[in-house]
Structure 1
Amino acid sequence: MSANKELQQGYSDYSSALDQATLLNRLIAAMEKGDLTDELLEHIPELSEAKKLNDKLKYRKTILERSIAEQFAKNKKNGVKASEPSASSSAPVEKKAKKDGKNGGAAPKQAKKVDYVTVNDYGSSIFGRLQSLFKKAIEDAFPGLDVPLLLAETPNPQFGDYQCNSAMPIAAILKATGINKKPGDVGKEIHAKLPENIDFVEKIAVMPAGFINVFLNADYLRKQISSLALNGISLPKVAKKRVLVDFSSPNIAKEMHVGHLRSTIIGDSICRLFEAVGYDVLRVNHIGDWGTQFGMLIAHLYDRFPDFLKKLPDISDLQAFYKESKKRFDEDEQFKKRAYECVVKLQSRDGEIVQAWNTICDVSKKYNQIVYDHLDIKIKDVGESFYQDKMVELVKWIKENKPDMLRKEEGRQIMFPTGCDVPLTVVKSDGGFTYDTSDLAALKYRMLEEKCDWNIYVVDAGQNLHLETVYAAGRDFGWYDENTQRVEHVGFGLVLGDDKKKFKTRSGETVRLLDLLSEGVKRATEKLKEKGRDAVMTEEELAAARDAVAFGCVKYADLSHTRTQDYIFSFDRMLDDRGNTAVYLLYAYARIRSIVRTSGVTDSQLADYLAKTPILPLNHPAELKLAKQLLKLSDCVLLVLDSLMLHQMCDYVYNLATLFHDFYNECYVIERKEGEPVVVHFHRLALCEVTANVISTCFKILGIREVPKM
């Protein structure tokens, strides 16, 4: 192993250990405080189950307490004497549990995993094709046996490239039914059901212990790399889907802050992945553009900007504008009265008030768009206001089609979806609607009117309980079939500061996204100047590299972490050019493009060579190792399509970059010897070209701008 690789590996191990230590510290801190966080419940399933039961009992207890109070009131009215329950004789009243997913009681998710991705052509995928072949072989050899496929890369090359380990669990299942078969015999039966000639397989060997070792055909690898270099990168072809992705979702009249960062970045990358495989993607921004708070904002707008009807007001600080209106609402009774009047007029669609509302929305969207432009985000606003009429239609629909699902409780109309312990409030006691109603109306619209095959919600993990309950209601109403339509919550953890708490400014304020991105630009500029890039790059090249580093490092730092976990925001780590960072990858990509440029070989010259050389002479172990990694792109795409875990793609492209550096250190692409002509090894130049193109493909999915010079 090269010294460079050892340093990179050491740095990677250190980062992983640091993340693990941070996780353990958070878990310990949560346990010491008695704070049952979502993360703690995830790592201690027994505690999670106990918490769910406890929440259920608390809810039932609340119902009983209300019933007792109602009965006491009736007794008192009818002259029946009874001792009133006193605070001293009863347990302390619990605060109402928030529906934030951290309190258990979640709706049941589907019991069986469904393969929602239908692959028509695996492309250059090897692992995916092997999975398909082994699944069919197991089904043919042991029909009706429900056993998971255990297929993985082998850690030791002497046992081949891939290994199927399903024979052992199959033998155990057969033994439980009275059929005694050795794992080795089971392995042979599976092998017998595989096709005799598999173009990418050199040989298959069944070990006595039942392991089925697969050795890849090196010529197949050489041929595939030649094809990719000549024809370009091809992704797997999958069955078309109409997909809606709900992400970002800031509130109107409040500037986007760090809390919107993860949803925006993760959601955009998921959309890019879907678009890359040919899905019809609806990018939806479910903005908070409706509610009683708009009354105070409109009233304040009239006072601060009386000429807003003629020109868009210059509200330089949305957060301050919101705080000013809230302060007046809390302290000034006359202002509060005017605010309520504005709400009534807005709900009745008064022309001038609607124009005032539109003005506030336009100003807010203007600031949001600056963030979206920086991050190259495309998204369509479909806010809560869009569903106001649809909520009325929803309640009417339920009463006409599923009246038994609604029940009255204290004047509210609620429903308990199948398997849920916490109800959805469809209509409040005053006849108004709730977020439950709005989200049900949105789900109904998306599945029945937009006719979505997949409906993906990129929302923080704290909303899991609420969303799973809404999905369960959708299934009860028959709006979608979970066996064919994918409705899924893509949850994510928090962005933390160095103190392991929610990322905030030094004064304790929420960090504005524009400020965060501006700081990124400043630090990226300093980083490039520190490397002396300002001396060798044009002004335009330097600006392009600066923005690619500034915004790419923020995106990659988020995406490279497992999304369900919290991560610590650190510009120092993001801008490090060692380890698994965007900066390292951008430098690697620029270096590879530079090698191709330096060779002096034109595109047509390389194409002529590839046309004459369908099987590249890749014989060095580093060449073959790099080739195998390049052909895993399709497998990575299929994996992430299923899991929606973008860190898996980050891991793939980082491993590719490190393997390329190993290859480049061990194999001359451009060979110079004193007194001799320069020799360009075209087959290795083809490897460089394919590597750069694969990294470029990953960058496009991750939303990172590629720059040819760094």
Structure 2
Amino acid sequence: ARVQSENEIKLLTAEIERLKNFGCLGVSPSLEGLRDENAKLKYRLNFLQKSLQEERSKTAKSMININSCLQEIFGAAIQAAYPDLENPPLVVTPSQQPKFGDYQCNSAMGITQILLKTKEQKVSPREIAEKISKNIPANECIEKIEIAGPGFINIHLRKDFVSKQLSSLLMNGVQPPAVGKRKKVVVDFSSPNIAKEMHVGHLRSTIIGESMCRLFEFAVTKELNHYFIKAWELICDVSRKEFQKIYNCLDITLIERGESFYHEMMKDIVKEFEDKGFVQVDDGRKIVFVPGFPVPLTIMKSDGGYTYDTSDLAALKHRLCEEKADILIYVVDSGQSVHLQTVFAAGQMIGWYDPKVTRVAHAAFGVVLGEDKKKFKTRSGDTVRLIDLLEEGLKRAMDKLRDKERDKVLTAEELKAAQTSVAFGCIKYADLSHNRLNDYVFSFDKMLDDRGNTAAYLLYAFTRIRAIARLANIDEQMLRKAAREEVLILDHEKEWKLGKCILRFPEILQKILDDLLLHTLCDYLYELATTFTEFYDNCYCVEKDRQSGQIVKVNMWRLLLCEATATVMAKGFDILGIKPVQRM
């Protein structure tokens, strides 16, 4: 798009110069027309230049997705090497073994198979890898490439490129990767019944939905959040206040869209399906069969009343046709999968959206189990109230902090903040760190453990990282100055490993935007924390005299690596809805 704009600017500039040459002519209607055209061209030129400048500014601050950059480079190389090949495989992944490089391109094996099937050419993967390597275009990120084994292309990144990207991160903060046009997104999540209390069954939809909203808001657009109440709002006020207490605890932001919001639209939905010939009558019911789905949607009962099918169709149409959503995500349990897919297919059938243009997806999730691997219940067999669960989390978090004698070193205010951070952070993280498609076992003991992939471990790691500069008497202003002036040296293998890990953040976000699986972010944050620990154990950030304890030397570039790690972790926490504290 940028190249197209630049070419258009060149053409417009040339056209304006051409029109200027008519200045020697006398005033005539044709000259007036040319002047008008010239003015329009100048306006268009200024508009394009301004847009291009804004795009350049935005892109300059955006974090670079290194994997995407490498895919572009190797995509161009494959195209140059095999111009007649349609849709060749493009496989670039982080290297599993650092000694073989930083990334790896494994496209050669797939191309071998395609050449054999389509052109009956038998070419070894290694020969293909060599041909691809010879066609790699000039770029700023690759230091060298090596061909290994049957045809793996090992990619080594340039250290000055990684250092430059880390400096940009430190100066600009964590910026979303450049994803093109900003999109409008609607997320349907939480869905409590207004006539009942929120229970543990609402936990997953609420936590997963909020985190997805935060991710899309950061990376794609300004978000629209929804929850869809499954009953009439005749008795709303008391229930809404109780819901809000829970949403406040979990830091959830929503726009309310209850069933009655869509009621006036339902008669029009029925009429639209009737007018287009999709409605059949069965025992007085009005039903709609959708190709590929054996169970029809009931859009009107025999007594003239509407159903959940009708309200779900009305909500779908409103979000697509009125709110003009580009992306629509339903965070609803797996048990609703067939129903939702039927509703989505009905929306396509009647022409509300084209799946090639608009993304409509069901982010399904499993159920919460107790430690007995059965549905999570109280000892008496009742469903666990969500407010009771949160209060129990607060109690256990405080017990954990007191066991560690944190109450003796933290102020009352700091202790309270740490309690809230640990309690609610651990409950959220325990859910989000599991693949949402699977059921997961709820265990306070496991989630509050400060070892392993838990929020407790990550929150403690984060506070330790933040404390390093503070204990060296380095404040934020000094760090900002150093970020502008210092070159990040990445000579030690642990510095290099940490630097690359930090810069994988945009890759992780892009993967989640594609598959909506948030546990990938949790796995990444845990990997980042453990990689940082390796770095800190092997590389002195602050050197002290062993006898006096006085600071002898501050390795500022290493403190900047600490700061970059903490900055990315903080953004990761923000997307997960977890609030870290400075002291714990």
- TM-score, normalised relative to structure 2: 0.86
Q: 2:126 aligned with 1:184, yes or no?
A: yes
Paired residue for 1:328?
A: none
Change (3 A) 1:677 1:257: closer
Q: Which residue of 2 aligns with 1:669?
A: 541
2:391 pairs with one of 503, 518, 523: 518
**Is 1:628 matched with 2:570?**
no
**Native 8 Å contact 1:229 1:690 kept in 2:** yes
Structure 1 Cα separation of the partners of residues 477 and 324 of structure 2? 46
Residues 165 and 278 of structure 1: CA distance in aligned 2, closer, same or farther (over 3 Å): closer
Pair 1:369-2:244 in alignment: yes
Opposite residue 134 of structure 1, the aligned amino acid is: F
In the other structure, the counterpart of 2:575 is 701
Task: Tell me the residue number matched to 2:14.
Answer: none
Match for 2:413 among 537, 540, 545?
A: 540
**Cα distance in 2 between the residues matched to 1:707 and 1:488:** 35
**Residue among 561, 564, 574 paired with 1:687:** 561
Q: CA deviation at 1:142?
A: 4.5
Give how far 1:136 is off: 4.1
Name the SS of the counterpart of 1:528 in structure 2.
helix
Report the residue type matching 1:678 in the other structure. Answer: V
User: Bigger relative contact order, structure 1 or 2, given CA contacts below 8 A and separation 6+?
Assistant: 1
Deviation sequence 1:578-603 (CA, Å, 0-9, x none): 00000000000000111111010233
Query: Over residues 34-77 of structure 1, what are the superposed CA-to-partner deviations in whole Å (9 max), with x where a residue is unaligned?
Result: xxxxxxxxxxxxxxxxxxxxxxxxxxxxxxxxxxxxxxxxxxxx
- 1:399 pairs with one of 271, 274, 279: 274
Q: Which position in structure 2 is the counterpart of 1:596?
A: 469
1:155 aligns with 2:28: no
**Counterpart pick for 1:552 among 425, 429, 435:** 425
Q: Is the 8 A contact 2:435 2:517 kept in 1?
A: yes
- 3-state SS, counterpart of residue 582 of structure 2: coil
SS in 2 for 1:367: helix
Unaligned runs of 5+ residues in structure 2 are 1-57
2:188 equivalent in structure 1: 246
Cα separation, 1, equivalents of 2:241 and 2:83: 61
In 2, Cα distance between equivalents of 1:192 and 1:627 = 28
Any idea what the Cα deviations from partners look like across 1:655-687, whole Å, max 9, x if unmatched? 000111111111111111246752111011111
Structure 2 distance, partners of 1:367, 1:511, is 15
Structure 1 residues 509 and 389 mapped into 2: Cα distance closer, same or farther (>3 Å)? same
Q: Answer whether contact 1:229 1:687 (CA < 8 A) is retained.
A: no
Q: Paired residue for 1:345? A: none
2:431 is paired with a residue of what secondary structure? helix
Three-state SS of the structure 1 residue aligned to 2:223 is: strand
TM-fit CA distance, 1:144: 5.0
Question: What is the deviation of 1:145?
Answer: 2.5
Match of 1:466 among 339, 347, 359: 339
Structure 2: distance between partners of 1:148 and 1:460: 34
Does the Cα contact within 8 Å between 1:183 and 1:208 map onto a contact in 2? Answer: no
In the TM superposition, what is the alpha-carbon distance from 1:694 to its structure 2 partner?
A: 0.8
User: What is the match of residue 65 of structure 2?
Assistant: 125
Residue 261 of structure 1 pairs with residue 203 of structure 2: yes
Aligned to 2:403: 530
- For residue 74 of structure 2, what is the aligned residue in structure 1? 134
Moved more, 495-504 or 418-427: 418-427
Determine the C-alpha separation between the residues in 2 that align with 1:457 and 1:679.
Answer: 54
Judge conservation of contact 1:289–1:361 (CA < 8 Å) in 2.
no
Q: 1:131 corresponds to which letter in structure 2?
A: Q
Do structure 1's residue 642 and structure 2's residue 514 form an aligned pair?
yes
Q: Is the CA contact 1:139–1:145 (under 8 Å) kept in the aligned structure 2? A: no
Residues 63 and 165, structure 2, Cα contact 8 Å, conserved in 1? no
Aligned pairs for 1:213-224 (under 5 A) are: 213-224=154-165
Moved more, 615-624 or 455-464: 615-624
Q: Deviations over 1:134-165 (max 9, x none)?
A: 33443452545334422222222332111111
Contact 1:414 1:424 in 2 (8 A): yes
Quick one: which of 282, 287, 291 aligns to 2:229?
287
The answer to whether the Cα contact below 8 Å between 1:124 and 1:632 also exists between their aligned partners in 2 is no
* CA deviation string 1:378-415 (max 9, x = no partner): 11110111111111011112222x11x22222222212
Q: Does 1:653 align with 2:525?
A: yes
| Amino acid paired to 1:364 | S
How far off its partner does 1:191 sit? 2.9
Residue 498 of structure 1 is matched in structure 2 by 371
Does residue 274 (structure 1) correspond to residue 213 (structure 2)? The answer is no
Letter aligned with residue 162 of structure 2: L
Counterpart of 1:27 in structure 2 is: none
Native 8 Å contact 1:164 1:211 kept in 2 = yes
1:642 Cα offset (Å): 1.0
C-alpha distance in structure 1 between counterparts of 2:210 and 2:84, whole Å: 42
Moved more, 125-134 or 637-646: 125-134
Over the aligned positions, Cα root-mean-square deviation in angstroms equals 1.7
Distance 1:620 1:191 in 2: 28
Give the TM-score normalised by the residue count of structure 1.
0.71
**Aligned 1:91-490 pairs, distance under 5 A:** 123-140=63-80, 141-143=82-84, 145-177=86-118, 178-195=120-137, 197-207=138-148, 209-238=150-179, 239-290=181-232, 358=234, 360-400=235-275, 402-403=276-277, 405-490=278-363
Unaligned runs of 5+ in 1: 1-118, 291-356
d(CA) in 1 for partners of 2:149, 2:535: 36
Q: 2:222 and 2:478 mapped to 1: Cα distance?
A: 38
Runs of 4+ in 1 over 6 A off after TM superposition: 119-122
Map 1:575-594; keep pairs closer than 5 Å: 575-594=448-467
Amino acid at match of 1:522: K
* Distance in 2 of aligned mates of 1:625 and 1:134: 23
Indicate conservation of the 8 Å contact 1:493/1:567, yes or no: yes
SS at match of 2:156: strand
Partner SS, residue 179 of structure 1: coil
Q: Deviations over 1:450-495 (max 9, x none)?
A: 1100110000011000000111111111111101210000000010
**Larger deviation, residues 280-289 vs 577-586:** 280-289
Task: Describe the shift of the 1:252–1:244 C-alpha distance in structure 2 as closer, same or farther (beyond 3 A).
Answer: same
